Structure 1
Amino acid sequence: MPKMKTKSGAKKRFKITGTGKVKYQQSGKRHGMIKRSTKQIREHRGTAVLFKTDGDNIKKYWMPNG
């Protein structure tokens, strides 16, 4: 049976922390900032952590070697 490979799109979008949680970059910050409120821009700053079940799916199917 061949090796399971990591999806190249997933390794660009997600990072796995030392405790096994999956971090991702917040969406909605590329363009169109004039439409968004300052509160929305501020809250989408930095990274966030996926819910546990979503993170488990990422680790199982997309990043088995992560």
Structure 2
Amino acid sequence: MPKIKTRKAAAKRFRLTGSGKFMRRRAGHNHLLEHKTSKRKRKLAGVALVDKRDVVNVRLMLPNTH
């Protein structure tokens, strides 16, 4: 039986926390930042958790995470 491959695009975007949740970056913090407020940019700079409805799909893309 062949090994299950990891989707590399997903592996670069998601990290598993110690408690088993997936972290992700927030969208909208790469460019066009001049007109965004400092508060908004601070909020976008942090990491967020993947929503529980999407966790199933992320787990399928990252089969070797526990």
TM-score under structure 1 length normalisation: 0.84
Gaps of 5+ in 1: none
1:53 Cα deviation after fit: 2.1
Give CA deviations for 1:9-56 in whole Å, capped at 9, x if unaligned: 111110011211000111111111112122211211221101112122
Structure 2 partner of 1:6:
6
1:58 Cα deviation after fit: 0.2
Name the structure with the higher helix share. 1
Identity of aligned residues (%): 37
Q: How large is the Cα RMSD of the aligned pairs?
A: 1.2
After the TM superposition, list the runs of 4 or more consecutive aligned residues in structure 1 that deviate by more than 2 angstroms: none
TM-score under structure 2 length normalisation: 0.84
CA contact (8 A) 1:14 1:23 kept: yes
Gaps of 5+ in 2: none
